[in-house]
Every structure is written in structure tokens, then in C-alpha cells.
Structure 1
Amino acid sequence: MEYVQERVATLHAFGEGAPDAPTDRAAVVVPMTEREYAGLAAERVLSELEALEPARVIVPLRAPAERVGAFREWLDGFDLPLETLWCDGPRVADLLADAGLDGERGKGRDVWLALGQALREEYVVVHDADTKSYSRDYVRRLLFPLANGFDFSKGYYARVENGQLYGRLFRLFYTPLVRALRDATPDSEFLGYMAAFRYALAGEFAATSDVVASLPLQRTWGLEVGTLAAAYDAVGVDRAAQVDLGSYEHDHRAVSGPTGLSDMSRSVGAALLRATEDHGVAVDYDALPDAYRRTAESYVERYAADAAFNGLSYDRGGERRQVRTYAESIAPPGPDDRLPSWDDTDLSPAAVVEAAHADARDAAAGDVTGSTDD
């Protein structure tokens, strides 16, 4: 246990439970895909939310049309003010295209669609549904800073499960990449802010609805990093906080494959590097991959010592191979395809809800097909 403060305010969980928080004025956004259907982790999340009694729960759903009816019936079985927003129907796609917002599908796009509806409440909480250790206290902890002088909060936790260290993309890619960027530009306040978050890739954050309305969002796996960068622009360093969520266990991904960590590293890296450039840092892309590798390899030795200290298993060779794989993803970020903030679009949240519900009704009746391309 420790009590160290970072560049952003850090609220520690020294005891059991959570402080009082305005859950009755909060919308909770829980993105799901078809793999969450009737799963134990998702069941736990929704059951815990029942006991929390938030003002609203919104589930942006990415799933094939033939799964939508059963998914909605399952979600309707929970005693929650819950709204399912199917994100992959033709009306939603046409609506986005007409607004000039068509593009790549992914978690960030789903969350963005749900946030428009969530803005009806004073506070908004976003978190994943694959958390095996989920507790209603997570929402209270994320909301507490918002009622006490802060406008944005981010969750953090240690990923230690099954006798080994997880959180590989954060440990072996994000953290050493930010360190390498800071070593080259030590006076960047923005990079100091990005380095201060103890689990920058956590899917759990909360903000006031005014702040949420001002955030542009990444469409895919860069969502978490892009949200941190956008929050820096919206609230600065002094009105951001991070909160200890304690024990945390959820699904693990393979390194390779279409939704593996190597693919995710490209999106995360692009989001981070674009934001770094946007905040006045000149990135040397010729030197950065080698600087990253040197830094990441030194981290491997540190994690090996930490694992040994705690009696955990640790695969130095496997972790070094991941570093080499991640290094290949470091490149200029390319075109900016972020979705605009809700403040900066003419698209109506009500129109999104109407289109999503109509698509879902047709899907349940077998009258429509959808796409779930990532």
C-alpha cells in the first residue's frame, strides 16, 4: 500500500467500500459486443449496477443482426433503467454518413453514439463489461471526484492474476513509449500529464456531462488514450484525478490476431503520437523506435525483479518478443479520423436513438442485416 501523489490528483483506496457519490445523477455507459451475451462477467456487472441504482444505463451494442433480439431480451431481464443502442444497423449507418461521420467501426464509435444520450444526466461514467471482479464501488469511486472539485476521473488498478503480471500493452508499450517521448522533450507538460496515469489504458472513466460533450473520440482501440488527451484540453491537469479501483480481473487478449495486442498497439500508438504532435512536441520518428526499445527492455528487467520479489512467474523472452512486435507499430499517425465532440456536431442524439431502436426492431423481426466490422 502507498499514498504517493502523481502530477494529477491520485485518490487511493486505503480501506473497504467506497465514498458517497451522486450515482442517482449519473448515466453509466457499458459498451458490449456479442461475446458478452449472458457471460458471467457481464452478468456480474449488471447485477452490481442493479444494487447501485444509477439514473440511467446505456449499452451500446456491437453484434450481428440475428443476435440483437436475444441480446435485448437478456438485458431487459435486469432491474435497471437500461437502454440498448444497437450500433450496427443500416439507419444508424445512413445517419452517420449523411452527417459526414461514416468511417471505421469500433469500441470508440459505439461509446460515442451512447454518450449523446448519456448527456441528459449530470455525470457520465464509462466502463467495460468484461470485468470478473466488478464492484458497484467502482462507479462510486469514479464519481466521487466529480462532486468534489474535479471534472474528469480515471480508474486505475494492478493487473496481477493467476500468479503473473498482465496489463502487457500498458506495461510494455504505452509506458515506455511515453517515457521515451518525455526523455526527448522533458519540458512537455502534456507528456507529464499522460505519464501520470497509473493505468492509462483502463476503460473506466467519468466526467461531468459538460466535459463529455466537449470530447472528440477515437473510433477504435485508441479510445482510452484519446480520451485522456481530450480531457487534458477540456479540464487541464488540476481538475483531473485518478482513483484506485483495487482488485481487477478481466479477459486477456492474444498478442497476434485481428483483435490482438499488436493490432491494438497500432491504434494506441497512433492516438498517443497524434495527441503528442497536437500539443507542440516534434516527434523524431527515425529515432523513436530504438529509444522505445531500449526503454521497454529496461522495463522488462524491472518487471522481472518485481515478479521474482512477489513469487510470480515471468517470461522474459516472451515479454522481449512483445517489445519487438510493438516497436513495429511506431510510425506517424496518419489522417485524423476522430469523431467530433457532441458540442461540435449537428447530429441529434435523439435521431441516433430513434434510428438505433428502429434498426433493432427490424433485426428482431428478421427484416434487416447489420455489419460488425471493426
Structure 2
Amino acid sequence: MTGLLGPLLTDPAIAYVKGFYHRPLAGAAGVEPDGGGRVTELVARPLLNMYWPELAGFVQPLAGEYAGRREVLEGIPFVTHYGVEVGHLIDLLELHGLDALAQVDLGHRTHRHQGTQALGRMAAQIMLTLMDRLERGGRVISAVPPSTALAQFRRGAGEAVERELVLTDVALTQRPPLESLPPEIRPVNSSLLRRTA
């Protein structure tokens, strides 16, 4: 984890550091060295490139390993579930600029890979976060808010062709910035806050 702290300790202009790593994807056909990060490549990266091209250089915008200065992290809201990381990047870009953001290579990580239905739920929450940021910034005005009900189909048991409709609520909430909370309930540890997945 010292890799995440390095830029913060050596450059006072850096406010937030995002980690990235190689994620091999193991499947029936073998191992794809950098096959992990399917939601990044299919959802997050295209949308970030369209609306926040300054963030296109982040290798893994959804990676859950990051570090930041306490006063910076206290000034942004935290989206629940899968929108938190991309919400951070957008909010920090808008508040502090690209030069305050850094990334470091953390080597290799072997993660448990999720099925396509789980990835669909993750993608939906990331899209909701991006749409929220577009609307907050006045870049998109929606006459009707997006639905948070995600309809997916699950194959029946065995070889059955019929499919079961599964509805999932993918709604997100946002925790307010810590600086907006009364001082008596704020955390009081070090000047750096860190979260790892």
C-alpha cells in the first residue's frame, strides 16, 4: 500500500491517488492476462471519454484502491455501492483539477470474477452515478429521472429454455461530505484517509 501513499507524501499538490493493476481473467479458454475490468471497458471508459475526456488516462477508474488527503475526501459526497470510485474521480476533477489526481501501478491482483448478471447490476449503478453527475453539472437535463429497476433474465434449472424475470433495485444514495457533518461525529485520525477493496 505504500505505492498509494507515495505521491501524497512526495508532492503536496497531489490530493488523490488511484491504484491500478493487471487483472488476469481465467476462463474455460485459458487465462487472458488483462481480461479483467469488463465493466470498465464496456461502460465506464466509453462514458468517461464522452463526457470527462480528461479522465481518459486513468487505467482503472473503477479500481477500489485509492488514497487521498483527509480535507479533500471530507469535501466530497460518497456514493453507495458501485458508483463510489467513478463519483470520486468526477467530483475531484471538478473541485481540484486533473493535476491534483495521480495513479500508481500496484502490480497484479487476482480477483474473483463475477457473472454477467452481477456485472449488469454494477454497470447500472455506474451509469446512474455518471448520469447524476451530468445532471448536477447542468450538462444533461432529464424530463424523467432514470428508472432504478433493472430487469434481467435468469435461465431455469437444467436445460430448460424458459427464463425467469428478475427485478433488482439498483438505486444509489449519496452520503454527504464529511465536512458538512457536525464536528463531534467526524473521524479524528490521521491526515490521510485510505480505503482498499
TM-score (norm 2): 0.69
Post-superposition offset of 1:278: 2.7
- Aligned partners of 2:99 and 2:37: how far apart in 1? 27
Say yes or no: does 1:168 pair with 2:38.
yes
The residue identity in structure 2 corresponding to 1:233 is E
Say yes or no: does 1:198 pair with 2:35.
no
Match of 1:343 in 2: 179
* Greater share of residues in helix: 1
Pairing partner for 1:157 from 17, 21, 24: 21
Say yes or no: does 1:147 pair with 2:4.
no
Match of 2:102 in 1: 241
Post-superposition offset of 1:274: 1.5
- Aligned partners of 2:142 and 2:76: how far apart in 1? 28
The residue identity in structure 2 corresponding to 1:219 is T
Unaligned runs of 5+ in 2: 144-169, 188-197
Say yes or no: does 1:264 pair with 2:122.
yes
Larger Rg: 1
The residue identity in structure 2 corresponding to 1:281 is R
The residue identity in structure 2 corresponding to 1:215 is I
- Aligned partners of 2:4 and 2:16: how far apart in 1? 9
> What SS does the aligned partner of 1:241 have?
strand
**Where in structure 2 are the equivalents of 1:196-235 lying within 5 Å?**
196-235=57-96
Say yes or no: does 1:282 pair with 2:140.
yes
Tell me, yes or no, if the aligned pair for 2:19 and 2:65 is still in contact at 8 Å: yes
Post-superposition offset of 1:267: 0.8
- Aligned partners of 1:197 and 1:176: how far apart in 2? 12
Post-superposition offset of 1:283: 6.8
From the superposition, tell whether residues 205 and 198 of structure 1 become closer, same or farther in structure 2 (CA, over 3 Å).
same
From the superposition, tell whether residues 167 and 282 of structure 1 become closer, same or farther in structure 2 (CA, over 3 Å).
same
Tell me, yes or no, if the aligned pair for 2:135 and 2:142 is still in contact at 8 Å: no
Percent identity reads 28
The residue identity in structure 1 corresponding to 2:4 is L
Post-superposition offset of 1:239: 1.2
Tell me, yes or no, if the aligned pair for 1:221 and 1:264 is still in contact at 8 Å: yes
Post-superposition Cα deviations, 1:44-98, rounded to whole Å, max 9, x if no partner, equal xxxxxxxxxxxxxxxxxxxxxxxxxxxxxxxxxxxxxxxxxxxxxxxxxxxxxxx
Runs of 4+ in 1 over 6 A off after TM superposition: none
Tell me, yes or no, if the aligned pair for 1:214 and 1:234 is still in contact at 8 Å: no
Post-superposition offset of 1:234: 3.7
Post-superposition Cα deviations, 1:25-44, rounded to whole Å, max 9, x if no partner, equal xxxxxxxxxxxxxxxxxxxx
Tell me, yes or no, if the aligned pair for 2:40 and 2:61 is still in contact at 8 Å: yes
Q: What do you get for the CA RMSD once the two structures are aligned?
A: 2.4
Post-superposition offset of 1:153: 0.5
> What SS does the aligned partner of 1:244 have?
strand
Unaligned runs of 5+ in 1: 1-138, 183-190, 286-332, 351-374
From the superposition, tell whether residues 197 and 284 of structure 1 become closer, same or farther in structure 2 (CA, over 3 Å).
farther
Aligned residue pair count: 152
